[in-house]
Every structure is written in C-alpha cells, then in structure tokens.
Homo-oligomer: A and B are copies of this chain.
Amino acid sequence: MSTGPTKLGELGLENFVPYLMNRIMGRYNAALQDEMAALGLTTPQMRSLAVLSVIDGILIRELAVYAVVQQSTLSRALEALHKDGLIRRETDAADSRAIRVFLTNPGRDVYERLWPHMADAYEAMFKGVDDAAQKAFVATLKTMLGNIRKHDF
C-alpha cells in the first residue's frame, strides 16, 4: 500500500502533485490569456467552446462538468456566448427542463482561432518528455480522474 505524504514540509512543495498541477495550469492559462482577451472571452466561455468543439449538442449540466465550472457561472457564460452569436441553445426533446448547446459557425471560427494557442501551449509543456513517458502520464491522469470524479464521464 502506497502511503500518502505525512507532512508537506517533509515531502517538499516541489514533489506535491496538486502544487505542481496548479503551477502548470496557471502557466497554461496564462499562455491563452492574450488570445482570449483579444476575442473577449472569459475562461468559462473559452472552455465551453473547446468542449463544444468535441461534443456538440451537449446538455448544460454535462457541459458544466466537462468545463469544470459552476452551473450558475456557466449559465451566464452561455448567455454571453449566445449574445455574441457563438452558440445556439435548444430545449431537449425528451426533457423540457434541459437545454442542449450547439456551436454556431461563428462560434466554431472563434474556437479555431483559439485552438492553435492551446496546441502550442500543450506542445511547450511536453518538450523533452518522450512519447512513452507522455503516454504513461496521460494514463495516470485518467486513472486519477477515474478515482475522484463524481460523474460517470
């Protein structure tokens, strides 16, 4: 059995995974900041577009999970995206409480302008990490998410 860290001081900050992940995500977000600002997008808006580019027509409550934002925050983010014509909302056929969200063509265009910056930041992260290590890394991340996620996806 793998014992967790006993004290942060003993483990050292530089070996503490949540710390490392925070630092890395902070830099990743910073790398996207300029382009997001140029497009007038907030983080929840940017993430919504990214998720929608993969899973179009998703329910709002699912989108909130994928984008890791509160539903109330997402609600307002979608309102803004809709006002800018980047998404379209449709009441779900089976459940009239639920709403499905779709990317419009302008929305897809905005996302396509964003994606190269995400890909660049992604690539910059993994410089000097060989393919095997990268694969193992992703596999571990998947295991971790499986361990702690609340939803089935």
* Contact among B9, B125, B147 for A147, CB-based, below 8 A: B125
Q: Of residues A8, A27, A122, A140, which shows the largest number of chain B Cβ atoms within 10 Å of its Cβ?
A: A140
Q: What's the minimum C-beta distance from A23 to chain B, rounded to whole angstroms?
A: 5
Report yes or no: B54 in contact with A149, Cβ–Cβ below 8 A.
Answer: no
Selected A-B contacts with CB under 8 Å, 28 pairs: A2-B131, A4-B120, A8-B115, A8-B118, A9-B54, A15-B138, A17-B137, A17-B141, A18-B25, A18-B121, A20-B142, A21-B24, A21-B141, A23-B68, A23-B145, A23-B149, A24-B144, A24-B148, A25-B25, A27-B145, A27-B150, A28-B148, A126-B147, A129-B144, A133-B136, A134-B140, A136-B136, A136-B137
| Copy count, this protein chain | 2
Chain A contact residues, CB within 8 Å of chain B: 2-9, 12-28, 31, 47, 50-51, 53-55, 66, 68, 115, 118-131, 133-134, 136-145, 147-150
Report yes or no: A147 in contact with B124, Cβ–Cβ below 8 A.
Answer: yes
Which residues does chain B contribute within 8 Å of A140, judged by CB atoms?
129, 133-134, 136-137
